[in-house]
Amino acid sequence: MSTQQEQPTDADDAGTGQADDAADAGPSPQDRRMDKKADRRIERERAADATDADAETVHLKVFRYDPEVEGKQEPRFDDFHVPFEKGMTVLDALIYARDEFDPSLTFRHSCRQAVCGSDAFFVNGRQRLGCQTQISDLDGPVRVEPLPHQDVVKDLVVDMEHFYEQMHAVEPYFQEEDLPDGDLEEQYQTRENREKVKMSTRCIWCGACMSSCNIAAGDNEYLGPAAINKAYRFAMDDREGEELKEHRLRILEQEHGVWRCQTQFSCTEVCPKDIPLTEHIQELKREAVKKNLKFW
């Protein structure tokens, strides 16, 4: 066996030289592009982390209760930290908390334009519409509870059946005595009369006024400010006539009608549509008194 080492040839020297030259030349253009992409990705991730750390959040304390789930039958408050955005409402924050953190969070909402009245909550100790209440106007943490004086079905959902029964008890629909002769002839209302009842027509049946009323809390048969306001809308409409007006006043002057109101103005203060509810109730009291006055 020969121990003589082979001497490198000119070809070997050339190959080694090319490899050394490639190493000295550094990474290829493709490698450099990939490195730049990786660097940009890292920079974006760092920027996102910094933004998340600096982002303003809303602290929600939300009432929770579920009678059908063992372990959730005891009322409690859950905490949610929701990223704040300019123009965010309480309803927006609740929707984010439900969609991103806890899909079991239950509450009512529909139009999100303060028209449907379905998202009335007790926010920071006051009845408010969730879609109408700006987070920026509230002190934190924002405490959201179901409407007081109502039976809670689940979380922020309350039973509105009794409220609807009181509303229907005042016959909240137009009842004409004399129709125009022609089938297509309109039954005109004067501008003055329309202005008189205009504010009462804004009621959206949200139940906020009923929830704020101490009388309604203690008297389950009291018609309540919302129902009385609805009766006002028709009792003061001249198109129904005097006989129907007297019929409506008989409904309202019962024991659990207008005379139970103690003029506390709590209903007026919380009404999201700015209806002068207490004023309407007092006017109906005056109409009831005038109806029963005798001058002989």
Same domain, 144 and 171: no
Q: Is residue 251 part of a domain?
A: yes
Task: Give me the percent of the chain exceeding a pLDDT of 70.
Answer: 84
Q: What is the pLDDT of residues 100-146, one digit of tens each?
A: 999 999 999 999 999 999 999 999 999 999 999 999 999 989 999 99
Angle between helices 242-252 and 225-235 (to 10 degrees): 170
CATH of the domain at 132: 3.10.20.30
Q: Is residue 35 part of a domain?
A: no
Same domain, 168 and 151: no
Question: Closest Cα partner for 119 from 160, 74, 67, 69?
Answer: 160
Model confidence at 32, pLDDT cuts 50, 70, 90, reads confident
SS3 70: coil
DSSP assignment letter at 6: P
Task: Give me the percent of the chain exceeding a pLDDT of 90.
Answer: 67
Model confidence at 162, pLDDT cuts 50, 70, 90, reads very high
CATH of the domain at 273: 1.10.1060.10
Same domain, 151 and 63: yes
Q: Is residue 50 part of a domain?
A: no
- The C-alpha atoms of residue 96 and residue 114 are separated, in whole angstroms, by 19
Q: Is residue 44 part of a domain?
A: no
- The C-alpha atoms of residue 16 and residue 1 are separated, in whole angstroms, by 28
Amino acid occupying residue 246: E
Same domain, 171 and 147: no
Same domain, 208 and 262: yes
- The C-alpha atoms of residue 9 and residue 16 are separated, in whole angstroms, by 11
Mean pLDDT score across all residues of the chain: 87
Q: How many CB atoms lie within 10 A of CB 156?
A: 25
pLDDT of 40 reads 75
User: Mean of the pLDDT values across residues 157-161?
Assistant: 97
Same domain, 104 and 138: yes
pLDDT of 113 reads 92
* pLDDT tops 70 at residue 153: yes
Same domain, 149 and 201: no
Q: Is residue 195 part of a domain?
A: yes
pLDDT of 219 reads 93
User: Mean of the pLDDT values across residues 189-195?
Assistant: 93
Q: What is the pLDDT of residues 241-270, one digit of tens each?
A: 888 899 999 999 999 999 999 999 999 999
Same domain, 165 and 94: no
Same domain, 281 and 260: yes
Q: Is residue 25 part of a domain?
A: no
Model confidence at 51, pLDDT cuts 50, 70, 90, reads very low
pLDDT of 9 reads 53
Range of 255's domain? 161-175+190-292
User: Mean of the pLDDT values across residues 11-18?
Assistant: 51
The pTM for the full model equals: 0.76
Number of domains in the chain: 2
Q: Is residue 143 part of a domain?
A: yes
Chain CA centroid to CA 207, Å: 13
pLDDT of 286 reads 94
Q: Is residue 3 part of a domain?
A: no
216 Ramachandran zone, left/alpha/beta (phi>0; psi -120 to 50)? alpha
Q: What is the pLDDT of residues 70-99, one digit of tens each?
A: 888 999 999 999 999 999 999 999 999 999
141 Ramachandran zone, left/alpha/beta (phi>0; psi -120 to 50)? beta
User: Mean of the pLDDT values across residues 153-179?
Assistant: 91
Q: What is the pLDDT of residues 220-248, one digit of tens each?
A: 999 999 999 999 999 999 888 888 899 99
Same domain, 165 and 276: yes
Same domain, 111 and 204: no
Q: For residues 201 and 5, which has the higher predicted lDDT (pLDDT)?
A: 201
Same domain, 153 and 167: no
